[in-house]
């Protein structure tokens, strides 16, 4: 697997907004940097193939290319699509690579590497809180390092089809399936009341 850093993943405005959100919950956070990172599932490329791949992954604006060096000791959290899924970006990007003669790249996937600068090391509980603020748990996962991204390309046999008896058991069947399958569906639903007035 090749690990290929990319450009900044957030505009200055979005970076500042996310930083403010993190600091409201975790005051120890001082700064953050977010950049795209690409993971290519391949055994090895020739120098010419590597040049083609580098050129295809050279996208973004000039502002996105201006990335500061992360602070020494910054905490790394990598947000990627949930292992076992293939993101729409991956499907399109892999097709482009194959059409450009890079058939040796079986698949390419993209994540966002967050470098979090903190005033003091975060506890495990605070890291979990940080992860919850950085990703969508229904579609994404958080990794502690780039090596763990190999899980994105694991191949496994499809699981047997499962059914949920909604008609027979109602909501209880959905709640049980949510817990057993790790679907991350919301467990509560907020209700709002509306009052109509006529004159």
Task: Find, among 143, 131, 132, the residue nearest to 3 by Cα.
Answer: 143
Helix (H, G, I), strand (E, B) or coil at 32: strand
153 contact partners, CB below 8 Å, separation of at least 6: 1, 39, 41, 106, 107, 109
Give, for 174, the enclosing helix (H) or strand (E): helix 171-181
The rounded average pLDDT for each run of 10 residues, N- to C-terminus, in the chain (199 residues) is 94 95 96 96 91 92 79 92 94 96 96 96 96 95 96 80 85 85 67 41
Residue-by-residue DSSP string for 43-86? S---HHHHHHHHHHT--S-HHHH--PPPPTTPEEEEEEEPTT--
Sheet of 107-118, strand order: 2-8, 29-41, 107-118, 75-81, 140-143
75-81 vs 140-143, strand pairing mode: antiparallel
List the structure tokens of 194: 């509306």
Cα distances from 187 to residues 37, 61, 174, 183, in angstroms, run 33, 41, 10, 11
What is the value of pTM for the model shown? 0.78
* Per-domain residue ranges of the chain: 2-153
Q: Quick one: how far is CA 16 from the chain centroid?
A: 19
Residue-by-residue DSSP string for 97-155? HHHTT-TT--EEEEEEEEEEEESSPPPHHHHHHHHHHHS-TTTEEEESSSGGGGGGG--
Q: What is the pLDDT of residue 183?
A: 73
Q: What is the pLDDT of residue 178?
A: 84
Alpha-carbon dihedral 78, 80, 83, 85, rounded to 10 degrees: 180
């Amino acid at each position: 697997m090749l690990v290929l850093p990319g450009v900044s993943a957030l505009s200055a405005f979005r970076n500042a907004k996310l930083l403010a959100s993190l600091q409201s919950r975790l005051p120890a956070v001082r700064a953050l940097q977010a950049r795209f990172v690409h993971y290519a599932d391949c055994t090895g490329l020739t120098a010419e193939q590597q040049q083609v791949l580098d050129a295809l992954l050279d996208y973004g604006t000039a502002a996105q290319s201006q990335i500061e060096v992360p602070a020494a000791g910054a905490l790394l959290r990598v947000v990627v699509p949930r292992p076992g899924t293939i993101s729409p970006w991956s499907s399109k990007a892999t097709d482009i690579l194959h059409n450009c003669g890079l058939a040796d790249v079986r698949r390419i996937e993209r994540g966002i590497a967050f470098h979090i600068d903190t005033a003091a090391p975060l506890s495990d509980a605070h890291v979990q809180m940080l992860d919850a603020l950085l990703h969508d748990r229904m579609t994404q996962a958080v990794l502690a390092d780039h090596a763990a991204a190999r899980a994105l390309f694991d191949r496994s046999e499809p699981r047997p089809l499962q059914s949920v008896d909604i008609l027979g058991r109602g909501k209880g069947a959905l709640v049980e399936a949510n817990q057993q399958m790790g679907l991350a569906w919301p467990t509560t639903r907020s209700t709002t009341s509306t009052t109509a007035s006529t004159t």
